[in-house]
Amino acid sequence: MWYRSIFGSIILFSCCFILYYFQTHLSFNTHSLSIINKNIHHTAIILARRPSIKILKHLNALINVGVNAYLMCDENPSKYMNITKRILYVNDESLAQYGLTRNRVWDRVFIWLYNQSSIDYVWLMEDDLTWTNVQHMVNLFNKYANNSADLLSRNIIHKNNQTLG
């Protein structure tokens, strides 16, 4: 009779151990997956007049850490298209359809974004923005991943003096 109790205890302990093992193992996988997904879901576009080596390296650094990164150019980048498919360009005719004649990279990026309905949030960065380590950019993106603000900016000023900062 007593060995039946011991045997039952061993079975119970084994079951608890197996459950604990799977729980910790699965939670680790979920955590890893969530970090990867967070990175994948960030979209960032570098805005540049033309793709320089430095800017292409910045683009590459962002892609390498899982950011869905692009480079929007102000000049037709056809000669760079064989380097990467991440270079975007919107021609002057497309801008003219919206009455935009200044032909600026900021206009081009918004015209492109009008048709990208799958992008909920996008980080836009000028080509002269840089960092000590690309992970700092990812940390910033992650920090606001669950923030629903429509515009995140360095500073915002209202004409009626309700300055945000």
Partner 1 sequence: MGEIFIFSSKNSIRFTKLKCTILNFLFFFVSWIWWPKTYLKLFPENKWSGSLNMLSRVSRRLIQAHQYYIHQLWEERKQNLSIKIDNNYYFQEFFTPTVAHMFNLTMMIYDHSNMDIHVIGLSEDQIGKSLANGKQIFHPVKHDSQLLINATA
Contacting partner 1 (CB under 8 A), which of 60, 67, 70, 92? 60
**Per rule CB under 8 A, is residue 49 in the interface with partner 1?**
no
Q: Which is nearer to partner 1, 27 or 52 (CB)?
A: 52
Phi, psi of 89, rounded to the nearest 5 degrees: -155, 135
Minimum separation from the CB atom of position 31 to partner 1 (A): 24
Instruction: Give the binding range for partner 1 (CB under 8 A) out of 13-21, 29-37, 77-85, 96-104.
Output: 96-104
**Phi and psi (nearest 5°) for 141?**
-60, -45
Non-local CB neighbours of 60 within 8 Å, separated by 6+ positions: 84
Q: For residues 93 and 128, which CB has a smaller minimum distance to partner 1 in the complex?
A: 128
Per-residue b or e along 134-165, where b marks 16 or more CB atoms closer than 10 Å to that residue's CB: beebbeebeeeeeeeeeeeeeeeeeeeeeeee
What single-letter DSSP state applies at residue 80? Answer: G
Pattern 104-133, partner 1, x by CB under 8 A: x-xx--x--xx--x-xxxxxxxx-xxxxxx
Q: Which amino acid is at 100?
A: L
154, two tokens: 């360095």
Interaction site with partner 1 (CB under 8 A):
54, 57-58, 60-61, 98-100, 102, 104, 106-107, 110, 113-114, 117, 119-126, 128-134, 136-137, 140, 143-144, 147-160, 163-165
